[in-house]
Amino acid sequence: MESAVILNIAVVTVSDTRTEETDKSGNVLVQSLQSAGHNLHAKSIVKDDVYKLREIVSKHIADASVHAVLLTGGTGFTARDNTYKAIKPLFDADIEGFGELFRQLSYAEIGSSTIQSRAFAGLANGTIIFCLPGSPGACRTGWDKIILEQLSSGHKPCNFADKLKLKLD
């Protein structure tokens, strides 16, 4: 599904161990968004630290040319999983249905282990932010079954493309 509106999307991998060579999840998201016709604005790997995460995501939120941010990693329940704590306070509005639907779809793939996923999404300064678990499979599920359609301006009856800080001439 290609989107009639081309979005600029940043991808952030949250990890203390990943490198560009080993970042399979971030690469799944990059390939997916580009296949859908969107532009990769930036890709980065950030240590799982509350303040480093807030810093990079805040910069993307403040940048008028960034429409969406996709994060992968740091959504579990270990002491080093800080994505939820770092990003949730930045939201102007939560998108509760994203996490609910993600876990429902994920249940068919990994069973009850999906309850340990804190996948979540929200809007901040006209930017949509999706936070996914750090596995390539979770990124494919989130993109293919939810995010792709929700970032497509042609998806009906509704999508998020019309709620983003777009300059549509």
Q: What is the rounded CA–CA span in Å between residue 72 and residue 15?
A: 9
Q: Classify 22 as helix, strand or coil.
A: coil
**Structural contact between residues 121 and 131, judged by C-beta atoms closer than 8 angstroms:** yes
R_g over Cα of the chain? 15
**Structural contact between residues 152 and 1, judged by C-beta atoms closer than 8 angstroms:** yes
**pLDDT (mean) for 53-74:** 96
CA distances, 164 to each of 59, 98, 104, 105, 142 (Å)? 16, 17, 26, 25, 19
107-138 per-position pLDDT tens digit = 999 889 888 889 999 999 999 999 999 999 99
10-49 per-position pLDDT tens digit = 999 999 999 999 999 999 999 999 999 999 999 999 999 9
Domain boundaries, the chain: 8-161
* C-alpha closest to that of 118 among 136, 98, 89: 98
How far from the centroid of its chain's Cα atoms is residue 43's Cα? 12
User: Can you identify the CATH homologous superfamily of domain 8-161?
Assistant: MoaB/Mog-like domain (3.40.980.10)
Q: Classify 97 as helix, strand or coil.
A: helix
H or E stretch at 55: helix 50-62
Q: What is the pTM of this model?
A: 0.93
What pLDDT is stored for residue 169 in this prediction? 34
